[in-house]
Amino acid sequence: MKLALAGAGAFGEKHLDALKLIDGVEVVSLVGRTLEKTKAIADKYGIGHATENLDEALARAEVDAVLLCTPTQMHAAQAIACMDAGKHVMVEIPLADSWADAQAVMRKQRETGLVCMVGHTRRFNPSHQWVHRRITKGELSIQQMDVQTYFFRRTNTNAKGDARSWTDHLLWHHAAHTVDLFQYQTGEKVVTANAIQGPLHPVLGIAMDMSIQLKSESGKICTLSLSFNNDGPLGTFFRYICDNGTYLARYDDLFDGRDQKIDVSKVDVSNNGIELQDREFIAAIRERREPNASVAQVLPCYEVLHQLEAGMG
């Protein structure tokens, strides 16, 4: 299977590292913002074609599918363009930064029947998979999820500390992980959603702090705190308070409520959530099936984000 990857930044390289580990997959085209940097990364990973133009990559007949690791504001339009070109597509989280755009991508997927998957990596981290499997077996029931998403980004930089050409968003990007995971893990829709945000950054124009409350159909709750002002520790940390134990998920690692590490090495073929996400995308295309984290499955998350944004005024 031959892929194009658009967005040769910090997260794009994480996917390139993961794709190297999947048999029968080759990245044949790399799309980036500046040609010189894109060519350098293409050379590093042995990719034969580099361009600044996504349409140029989509025009290549050999390309079967596309991974979009581009700025948030481009995701919906680019996902639609990929499917219009007859290519399967995985869009890095978030699918869109508006409910209208998220629905437009869903309509295009239904029209084309192509695989359209969204990078909701938390569904694939071994830590969260371990919890999910115990829930589906009836061994656990979530009472509350308590989640902290903390970064130190008072300037417009990415995960590697490099300058960004676009502005990130606590609600439409970082909250999307938790809103989707809460519904996925509980198997229930969110029926109550509240949010408040702190002052907007004078230059970036985004809220730097946010607090979100969610309630599911049966009364399970989720409390989410987000900040771009927090100077360490950085990342997203999930506490599952269940009827049968408390568990802390830190990306791919899992701990019990007393901070004892739980072995999740046998959960899946890899301990890397991004690799597992990419494997699911490739498998869904090969097996002609709907992937976990398909646009249809994650769409309810974006409806909740829309409701939260409207409620904040």
In which order are the strands placed within the sheet that holds 49-51? 49-51, 26-31, 2-6, 65-68, 88-92, 116-119
pLDDT at 164 over 80: no
CATH of the domain at 305: 3.30.360.10
Model confidence pLDDT, tens digit, residues 132-157: 999 999 999 999 999 999 988 777 67
Which pLDDT score, from 0 to 100, does residue 155 have? Answer: 73
More confident residue, 160 or 79: 79
Q: Are residues 48 and 23 in the same domain?
A: yes
Residues 244-265: what's their mean pLDDT?
97
Q: Are residues 217 and 156 in the same domain?
A: yes
Model confidence pLDDT, tens digit, residues 280-296: 999 999 999 999 999 99
d(CA 176, CA 19) in angstroms, rounded, equals: 24
Which pLDDT score, from 0 to 100, does residue 152 have? Answer: 87
Q: Please return the burial class of 254, using the count of CB atoms within 10 Å of its CB with bins 0-12, 13-18 and 19+.
A: buried
pLDDT at 232 over 90: no
Which pLDDT score, from 0 to 100, does residue 203 have? Answer: 85
Q: Please return the burial class of 119, using the count of CB atoms within 10 Å of its CB with bins 0-12, 13-18 and 19+.
A: buried
Q: Are residues 154 and 243 in the same domain?
A: yes
Q: Are residues 222 and 287 in the same domain?
A: no
User: Looking up tokens 């940097």, which residue turns up?
Assistant: 37
Confidence label for 312 from pLDDT (cuts 50, 70 and 90): confident
User: Looking up tokens 């409620």, which residue turns up?
Assistant: 311
Please give the model's pTM, rounded to 2 decimal places.
Answer: 0.94
Model confidence pLDDT, tens digit, residues 187-200: 999 999 999 999 99
pLDDT at 10 over 90: no
Which pLDDT score, from 0 to 100, does residue 206 have? Answer: 86
Tokens of 313: 């005024």
Which pLDDT score, from 0 to 100, does residue 313 have? Answer: 59
Domain count, the chain: 2
Which pLDDT score, from 0 to 100, does residue 124 have? Answer: 98
Which pLDDT score, from 0 to 100, does residue 205 have? Answer: 85
pLDDT at 162 over 80: no
Confidence label for 109 from pLDDT (cuts 50, 70 and 90): very high
Q: Which residues contact 204 (CB under 8 A, 6 or more apart)?
A: 156, 167
pLDDT at 311 over 90: yes
In which domain, by residue range, is 30 found? 2-120+274-294
Which pLDDT score, from 0 to 100, does residue 142 have? Answer: 98
CB distance 254 to 262 below 8 Å: yes
CATH of the domain at 51: 3.40.50.720
Q: Which residues contact 260 (CB under 8 A, 6 or more apart)?
A: none
Which pLDDT score, from 0 to 100, does residue 160 have? Answer: 63
Confidence label for 303 from pLDDT (cuts 50, 70 and 90): very high
Q: Are residues 7 and 114 in the same domain?
A: yes
Confidence label for 166 from pLDDT (cuts 50, 70 and 90): low
Confidence label for 158 from pLDDT (cuts 50, 70 and 90): low
Which pLDDT score, from 0 to 100, does residue 169 have? Answer: 87
Which pLDDT score, from 0 to 100, does residue 177 have? Answer: 97
Q: Are residues 54 and 171 in the same domain?
A: no
Q: Are residues 205 and 179 in the same domain?
A: yes
Determine the 3-state secondary structure of 227 from DSSP.
strand
Q: Are residues 113 and 144 in the same domain?
A: no
Q: Are residues 202 and 286 in the same domain?
A: no
Q: Are residues 145 and 249 in the same domain?
A: yes
Q: Are residues 10 and 97 in the same domain?
A: yes
Q: Are residues 87 and 15 in the same domain?
A: yes
Output phi, psi for 41, to 5 deg. -70, -35
